[in-house]
Structure formats: structure tokens, C-alpha cells
């Protein structure tokens, strides 16, 4: 049996277990019919991918299936999250048929975006209750960033290639942000979308554990079967163990996705009735967070938990207990079988791959020298500078393992400022909305705490990794969710005084 079909057997087995276990708790948040429809669609597209033996056959079949499924879907973002990590995001070129070199780069994620989010965006843009894009401050900052990136691209490439990059920005940045920020209006919409992300997080977690235990990257053979060439198929190890990646392409990307799933789970689990389901979900996500052996996402997940607790009731005592548990766990691990291996993997404590930390420090130092030469708008040839050439690794690449450094090098401090301003504006809006709700048990306050903590965790994590594969799609989507939350809270603040006035004017 070919390797990709043997992998399919494992994937289907794992997925069947996850979806079977998740059906009951999922029914506490959404309609069972929605759960079944999305689950069946996930199985259908997975089978299609593994039996297509050509990416173009898969893309054509997926397009038809998704366009049909979209008509029955009331929450396009939930469907998008459910299928976002179906297969790895390996790119291939749409041929130009002799007219031009090639039309555009395409992968599963872009097929999904064009079939699900693009029609949803067109519908939302025609609805009177949708806020027109550009009216909100985050919209303006995002638009300015996209325009700046597009204009600066002309320095290094042709007009045709710049147009390709503009189209890529529209698909990968604008559409996820716009649909998330305009498509969710009620609390149930957030439950639906966030549950979809968490469900896929459960699936990635168990598949990641399977890869870690079996020392087998399950989706590598699929790319070969589909005829896709991708550099991100290498087996990476740390401390003698395989670093799982599943469909994300890189171990640190899987860790990043799992950290985001942990954050969203803090909201979803509040509505699950049985404590056993909540504990099992938390343990599964913790295992999934461990399997990639990526320390940056561990720190990001820690930030998410700490910020979430800090915004809740009894914050000081709970944070003290959390700190005490962390301190006591270190000597406990040192005496447990295999505990020394875990300690060696921990950030700031462990001794495994300490050269990665040294590399990141050198990257910051050398990058700052290069940035100072073109501080405002960066440069397109920054990789050819002596400082960056000295960062070439054994694989012959310069790995810009920091999203903020990459932005400053490529589009300067102006571009970096727009990026940071976009997220700072959203974080401030969430914080104000959370502070306006006095009841800690209120689900609207809980949602705000989760979004604020998750977004901060994302911003910390991307300090340790560049925006590769699905990383930007996730943070633009979560930013859109946060904007939708801010708008929902503003509408409530406007409607409540009206309700009070109406009641006071009623005749006695």
C-alpha cells in the first residue's frame, strides 16, 4: 500500500475518534446538524485529497463541493476554520497558457478562501447593517499597510508580479479580516466560529501526538501524491524526538495554531456542561501544544493563560497559585522518570538547541544595523547585506525568525508602525469593551477576555517566528473576530439606553 494511503488510514481513525468524542460537547454550543454537516464535509474533502493523485483534480472537485456547501452554511467563517488545516498549504502555479509566465500561486487555503469567504464578503458588502470597510480605525490602518506593501513591491519586481502580490494580499489578508469583522454579530456566531477552530485544534493535537509517537509526518506523502513540491517537508527533531507539524508545514506553526486553540478553548469550554469533557479537551490541547516541541508557542500559550486570569475575578490569588505551581513543578520534574528531558526542552531553563536563542539574538543585532540604513521604508535587497549574509545557516538560508524584524527590514519602520498600530488599536478597543461589563460571569466579558488574551499571545509568539504558511491567515482572522466583538459591544451600549428610555416613557 502506498505511504499516503497508509497515512490516510491513521488520519481517518484519529479523526473518527475526535469527532465521536466531540459530538456531545459540541451540541452544547451549536446545532447537531451544523456539526454533522461540517464533519462530513471534512471527511469528504480529505478522501478527495488522498485519492485525487493530482492537485488540479482535487482543486476542481473541492471548488464544486465548497460552492454547493456554502449555500447551506449560515456562518462562513466557521466553515472556513473547520477546513483551513485540511491539507498542507503547499503552493503551485496556475499556468499562463503561453500568454504570461504564470497567472497566480494557488493552494488549498486559497481555494477555500475564494469559494467560501469571497462570496460571503460580497454578500456582506451589500447588507445595510454591515459597516462599510474603511470607516473603522483598524480598517484604515490595515488599508494603509496593504497599500504601502503593494507600492513598495514595485521596487523589486515587475508590475505583473506586483499585481500578483496585490491579489495575494486581498485573498490572504483582506478576506479573512473582512468576513470575520463583519460576519459575526451575535454571541452565538462567535460560539460557532470559535468552536470550529477548537474542534480542528483537537484533531491537529491528536494527529500531532501520533506523529510525535510514531516519528512519522503523516501528510508528507500526500504532497508527493498530489504532485506538489514543497520545501517544508523536512523531518525536524529536538532532544532526539520528532517535532510534529501535521498540515501546518512547520513544527512552530503547529505550536502557534495550538496556542490559539488553547485561547479560544477558554471561551468554548465555558458552555460545555460536563466537566469531564472540559478536562479531556484541555488535556488534548496541552498534548497537542507539546508535540511540536516549539518553545515560542509555549511562551505564547503561557501569556494567553496569564492574561486571561489577570482579567478575571480573584486575579492576584489565582496568578499566585499558578506561579507557585510552576515553581514546584520544576523540582518535581527533576525526580520523575523522563522529567530531565522535559526540563531540557523548556525555554530559558533547558539546554537543548540553545544555539537557536543565540541565533535570534544575533538576528536582532544585525537586523537593527540594516534597518538603520533604510529606516522608513526598508529595502528589497536586505538579504544581500554583509550583516544578513553572516546569518546564513547550514541549509544555505537566512531565516528571519521574527515577524516584526521581517516587516521592518522589508517595509521599514513605517510599515511596522502600521502593523503594530492596527493590533494596538484593536487591543485597546477590546480592553475598553471588557471594562464596560462589570459582571465577571457575563459571557460577553468572558469573550472579550479570551480575545484580548489570545491576541496578545499571538503577538508574543510571532516574535519568535516569521509569518509563514498559515500564521498570517490566523492572526488576521482573530483580529477580525476582535473587531466584530468591539462592534457588537458598541451596538449593545447604544441599544441599552434606548431600552431604558422606552421603559421609562411607558404610561403607568
pLDDT tens, position by position, 7-43: 999 999 999 999 999 999 999 999 999 999 999 999 9
Q: Rounded to an integer, what distance in angstroms lies between the CA atom of residue 311 and that of residue 446?
A: 9
Give the SS3 label for residue 491.
helix
Band the pLDDT of 506: cuts 50, 70, 90.
very low
- What the block records as the C-alpha cell of 410 is 522589508
Is pLDDT at 116 greater than 60 in this prediction?
yes
Please report the pLDDT score of residue 4 as a whole number. 96
Within-domain flag for 414: yes
Average per-residue pLDDT for the chain: 92
Residue span of the structural domain in which 358 resides: 3-313+353-504
The pLDDT confidence band at residue 144, using thresholds 50, 70 and 90, is very high
Structure confidence at residue 139 as a pLDDT band (50, 70, 90) = very high
How would residue 507 be classed by pLDDT, with cut points 50, 70 and 90?
A: very low
> Which ranges of 113-250 does DSSP label H, i.e. alpha helix?
118-126, 137-153, 159-169, 175-183, 187-214, 220-225
- The 10s digit of each residue's pLDDT in 306-334 is 999 999 988 999 999 988 888 888 777 77
What pLDDT band is residue 497 in, cutting at 50, 70 and 90? Answer: low
Nearest to 415 by CA among 384, 377, 464: 377
**The most confident of 152-166, 224-238, 364-378, by mean pLDDT:** 364-378
Q: Using H for helix, E for strand and C for coil, what is the string for 385-447?
A: CHHHHCCCCCCCCCCCCCHHHHHHHHHHHHHHHHHHHHHHHHHHHHHHHHHCCCCCCCHHHHH
- 272 has a pLDDT exceeding 50: yes
User: Average pLDDT, stretch 169-190?
Assistant: 97
Contact (CB, 8 A) for 175 and 117:
yes
Residue 348 lies in a domain: no
- At 327 the pLDDT is 81
CB neighbour list of residue 150: distance below 8 Å, 6 or more residues apart:
162, 165, 166, 169
Q: Contact, 450 vs 262, CB < 8 A?
A: no
The C-alpha cell that represents 172 in the structure block: 490572504
* Whole-prediction pTM: 0.95
pLDDT score, position 122: 97
**pLDDT at 402 > cutoff 80:** yes
For residue 106, what are the β-bridge partners?
92
Distance between CA atoms of 216 and 174, rounded to whole angstroms?
Answer: 35
* Mean pLDDT confidence for 48-71: 96
500 pLDDT higher than 70: no
Structural domain tally of the chain?
1
| pLDDT, position 319 | 92
* Model confidence band, residue 502 (pLDDT cutoffs 50, 70, 90): very low
**What's the pLDDT band for 505 if we cut at 50, 70, 90?**
very low
The x, y and z cell numbers of residue 458, run together, are: 499571538
- The continuous run of DSSP H or E covering 3 comes out as helix 3-26
Residue 249 placed within a domain? yes
Task: Count other Cβ atoms within 10 Å, centred on residue 438.
Answer: 7
Give the confidence band of 501 by pLDDT, cuts at 50, 70, 90: very low
Vertex 212 angle, CA 339 and 241, to 5°: 55
In a domain, 70, yes or no: yes
* Residue 142 confidence (pLDDT) above 70: yes
**Which residue, 224, 225, 349, 245, is CA-closest to 294?**
245
Could you tell me the maximum CA-CA distance found in the chain, to the nearest angstrom? 82
**Domain contains 320:** no
Q: Is the pLDDT of residue 205 over 50?
A: yes
Residue 96: how many CB atoms within 10 A of its CB?
12
Does the pLDDT at position 352 exceed 90?
no
| Average pLDDT of the segment spanning 190-204 | 98
The predicted-structure confidence for 369-391, as pLDDT tens digits, reads as follows 999 999 999 999 999 999 999 98
CA distances from 390 to 368, 374, 382, 411 (A): 14, 19, 12, 21
Query: Which residue, chain included where needed, has cell 508580479?
Result: 161
The verdict on residue 336 lying in a domain is no
Tell whether 326 is covered by a domain.
no
Inside any domain, residue 443: yes
pLDDT of 503 over the 50 cut: no
89 within 8 A of 253, measured Cβ to Cβ: no
SS3 content of the chain, % helix, strand, coil (to 5): 70, 5, 25
Mean predicted confidence (pLDDT) in 404-432: 97
Reported as a pLDDT band with limits 50, 70 and 90, residue 270 is very high
Of the candidate ranges 280-289, 455-464, 470-479, 490-499, the one whose mean pLDDT is the lowest: 490-499
Q: CA of 347: how far to CAs of 191, 263, 294, 298, 339, in Å?
A: 33, 20, 9, 8, 15
Per residue in 64-111, pLDDT tens?
999 999 999 999 999 999 999 999 999 999 988 767 788 899 999 999
Amino acid at each position: 500500500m502506498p505511504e499516503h494511503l497508509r497515512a490516510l488510514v491513521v488520519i481517518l481513525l484519529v479523526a473518527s475518534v475526535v469527532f465521536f468524542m466531540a459530538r456531545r460537547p459540541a451540541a452544547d454550543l451549536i446545532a447537531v446538524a451544523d456539526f454533522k454537516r461540517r464533519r462530513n464535509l471534512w471527511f469528504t474533502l480529505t478522501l478527495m485529497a488522498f485519492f485525487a493523485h493530482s492537485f488540479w483534480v482535487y482543486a476542481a472537485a473541492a471548488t464544486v463541493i465548497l460552492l454547493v456547501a456554502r449555500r447551506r452554511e449560515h456562518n462562513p467563517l466557521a466553515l472556513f476554520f473547520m477546513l483551513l488545516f485540511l491539507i498542507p498549504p503547499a503552493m503551485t502555479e496556475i499556468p499562463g497558457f503561453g500568454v504570461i509566465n504564470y497567472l497566480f500561486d494557488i493552494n488549498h487555503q486559497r481555494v477555500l478562501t475564494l469559494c467560501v469567504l469571497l462570496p460571503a464578503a460580497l454578500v456582506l458588502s451589500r447588507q445595510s447593517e454591515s459597516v462599510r470597510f474603511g470607516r473603522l480605525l483598524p480598517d484604515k490602518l490595515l488599508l494603509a499597510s496593504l497599500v504601502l506593501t503593494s507600492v513598495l513591491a514595485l521596487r523589486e519586481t515587475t508590475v505583473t508580479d506586483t499585481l500578483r502580490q496585490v491579489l495575494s494580499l486581498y485573498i490572504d489578508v483582506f478576506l479573512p479580516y473582512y468576513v470575520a469583522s463583519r460576519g459575526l454579530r451575535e454571541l452565538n456566531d462567535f460560539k460557532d466560529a470559535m468552536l470550529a477552530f477548537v474542534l480542528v485544534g483537537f484533531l491537529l493535537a491528536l494527529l500531532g501526538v501520533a506523529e510525535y509517537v510514531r516519528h512519522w509526518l503523516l501528510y508528507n506523502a500526500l504532497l508527493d501524491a498530489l504532485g506538489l513540491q514543497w520545501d517544508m517537508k523536512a523531518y525536524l527533531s529536538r532532544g532526539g524526538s520528532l517535532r510534529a507539524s501535521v498540515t501546518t508545514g512547520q513544527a512552530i506553526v503547529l505550536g502557534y495554531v495550538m496556542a490559539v486553540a488553547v485561547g479560544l478553548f477558554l471561551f468554548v469550554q465555558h458552555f460545555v456542561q460536563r466537566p469531564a469533557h472540559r478536562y479531556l479537551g484541555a488535556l488534548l490541547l496541552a498534548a497537542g501544544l507539546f508535540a511540536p516541541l516549539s518553545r515560542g508557542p509555549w511562551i505564547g500559550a503561557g501569556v494567553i493563560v496569564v492574561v486571561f486570569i489577570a482579567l478575571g475575578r480573584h486575579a492576584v490569588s489565582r496568578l499566585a497559585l499558578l506561579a507557585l505551581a510552576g515553581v514546584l513543578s520544576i523540582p518535581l520534574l527533576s525526580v520523575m522518570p523522563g522529567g530531565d528531558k522535559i526540563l531540557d526542552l523548556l525555554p530559558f531553563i533547558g539546554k537543548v538547541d540553545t544555539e537557536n536563542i543565540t541565533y535570534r539574538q544575533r538576528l536582532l543585532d544585525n537586523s537593527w544595523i540594516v534597518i538603520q540604513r533604510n529606516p522608513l521604508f526598508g529595502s528589497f535587497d536586505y538579504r544581500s547585506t554583509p550583516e544578513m549574509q553572516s546569518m546564513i545557516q547550514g541549509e544555505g538560508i537566512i531565516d528571519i525568525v521574527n515577524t516584526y524584524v521581517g516587516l521592518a527590514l522589508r517595509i521599514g519602520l513605517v510599515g511596522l508602525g502600521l502593523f503594530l498600530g492596527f493590533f494596538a488599536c484593536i487591543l485597546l478597543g477590546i480592553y475598553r469593551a471588557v471594562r464596560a461589563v462589570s459582571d465577571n460571569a457575563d459571557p460577553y466579558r468572558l469573550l472579550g477576555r479570551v480575545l484580548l488574551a489570545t491576541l496578545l499571545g499571538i503577538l508574543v509568539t510571532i516574535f519568535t517566528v516569521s509569518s509563514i504558511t498559515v500564521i498570517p491567515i490566523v492572526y488576521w482572522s482573530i483580529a477580525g473576530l476582535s473587531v466584530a466583538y468591539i462592534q457588537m459591544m458598541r451596538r449593545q451600549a447604544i441599544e441599552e439606553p434606548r431600552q431604558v428610555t422606552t421603559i421609562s416613557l411607558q404610561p403607568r
